[in-house]
């Protein structure tokens, strides 16, 4: 068995069926990381509560997301995969870390201000404490590093500061400062060709969509806006279909589209059909695996509970030390 280089933690909110942007932005990286690191992957349902108006789809979205993760190759034998609320210690650590976090620091965070702008009618206490819960997630499992893009690195910096505050306040070194594992995530544009792919903008293509649904979405993709007729030459450099070709098509096909589009040798319909076929071929094995998982939802819940059991062992080890450092009477014997 190969020796792993350290522990990685990453969490994602249960947003249901995942799209191609999620796949290339996070999931495929999760799959790669588990070969080199001990990985802890968490579906953060408690985080999702901060902005949810109704929770009726929470369990369904959690399961759908787990199915996409598993069928993409996140392996419960190699990694710990679980649901945040299944490990109760995270809420305890969240409370304890709240005591070493100045309120002003939380309300000054740009992410908090963004959330307030997005949800002006629901600025709840949980929303303010979101980064503290995130810090609790990371340090509870003693993660050495967290894979993030440049724009998310302030969150990890916040966690590192929180760890320093805790360790200083309680004169301990119980909590570990996680390192930032800077990762470049390709920006996948939505079918509108203008915005990043996003479920809320309804410009996404789900990785588990059927071949027909995928082709229909690809046909809706915005192309070079200057190419009005089939006989007009196009510019692949401004066309999102071409960006997708670079991901899903062979180098020869990419070269052919690049050349033929510029001299109107290929029409957008044929170009899209080729790309959709390649996209469908790429995701076919994943979709087949997913259909197997879908046959037995209770097996997936069992697997997530099993992951939570393994995560709870790590969590409890940390919390015993944390309670001791804080001096909580819960550890005193009568
Ligand atoms: Fe885009 Fe292809 Fe149409 Fe060129 S031929 S504009 S690359 S869809």
Q: What is the pLDDT of residues 127-147, one digit of tens each?
A: 999 999 999 999 999 999 999
Cα gap 294→87, rounded to integer Å: 25
Which residues, judged by CB distance below 6 Å to any ligand atom, belong to the binding site of ligand 1?
A: 223-224, 227, 234, 236, 239, 241-242, 257, 261, 266, 268, 271-272
SS3 273: helix
| CATH 1.10.240.10 domain residues, the chain | 211-291
Distance 21 CA to ligand 1 centre (A): 20
Q: Where are the alpha helices (DSSP H) in the chain?
A: 20-22, 28-36, 45-49, 58-72, 89-98, 103-107, 110-118, 125-128, 130-140, 153-169, 211-219, 240-248, 251-262, 268-294, 297-326
| CATH 3.40.50.620 domain residues, the chain | 7-188+297-331
Kindly report the protein residue whose alpha carbon is nearest to atom 4 of ligand 1: 261
Ligand 1 atom nearest residue 260's Cα: 5
Distance 240 CA to ligand 1 centre (A): 8
Cα gap 188→69, rounded to integer Å: 18
| pTM to 2 decimal places | 0.92
CATH 3.40.50.920 for the 211-291 domain, yes or no: no
Give the CATH fold of the 7-188+297-331 domain: Rossmann fold (3.40.50)
- For residue 54, the model assigns a pLDDT of 86
Ligand 1 atom nearest residue 227's Cα: 6
**Which is more confident, 2 or 225?**
225
Q: Could you tell me which residues come within 8 angstroms of residue 240 by beta carbon, excluding any fewer than 6 positions away?
A: 189, 191, 193, 221, 222, 223
**Residue among 230, 233, 236, 254 to mutate when testing ligand 1 (max atoms within 8 A of CB):** 236
Task: For 197-234, write each residue's pLDDT tens digit.
Answer: 999 899 999 999 999 999 999 999 999 999 999 999 99
């Amino acid at each position: 068995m190969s020796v792993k280089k350290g522990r990685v933690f990453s969490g994602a909110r249960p947003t249901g069926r995942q799209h191609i942007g999620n796949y290339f932005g996070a999931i495929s990286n999760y799959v790669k990381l588990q070969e080199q690191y001990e990985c802890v992957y968490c579906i953060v349902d408690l985080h999702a509560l901060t902005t949810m108006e109704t929770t009726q789809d929470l369990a369904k979205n959690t399961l759908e997301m787990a199915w996409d993760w598993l069928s993409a190759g996140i392996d419960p034998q190699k990694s710990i995969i679980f649901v945040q609320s299944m490990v109760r210690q995270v809420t305890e650590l969240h409370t304890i870390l709240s005591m070493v976090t100045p309120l002003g620091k939380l309300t000054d965070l740009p992410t908090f201000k963004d959330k307030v702008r997005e949800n002006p009618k629901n600025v709840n206490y949980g929303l303010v404490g979101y980064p503290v819960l995130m810090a609790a997630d990371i340090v509870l499992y003693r993660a050495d590093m967290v894979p993030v893009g440049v724009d998310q690195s302030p969150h990890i910096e916040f966690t590192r500061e929180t760890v320093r505050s805790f360790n200083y306040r309680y004169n301990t070194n119980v909590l570990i400062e996680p390192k930032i594992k800077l990762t470049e995530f390709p920006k996948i544009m939505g079918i509108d060709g203008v915005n990043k792919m996003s479920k809320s903008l309804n410009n996404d293509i789900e990785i588990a969509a059927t071949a027909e649904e995928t082709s229909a979405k690809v046909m809706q993709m915005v192309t070079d806006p200057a190419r009005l007729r089939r006989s007009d030459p196009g510019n692949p450099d401004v066309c999102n279909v071409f960006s997708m070709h670079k991901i899903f098509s062979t180098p020869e096909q990419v070269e052919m589209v690049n050349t033929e589009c510029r001299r109107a040798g290929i029409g957008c319909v044929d170009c899209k059909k080729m790309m959709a076929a390649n996209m469908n071929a790429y995701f076919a094995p994943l979709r087949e695996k997913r259909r197997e998982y879908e046959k037995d939802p209770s097996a997936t819940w069992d697997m997530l509970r099993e992951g939570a059991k393994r995560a709870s062992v790590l969590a409890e080890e940390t919390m015993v030390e944390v309670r001791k450092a804080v001096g909580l009477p819960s550890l005193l014997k009568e």
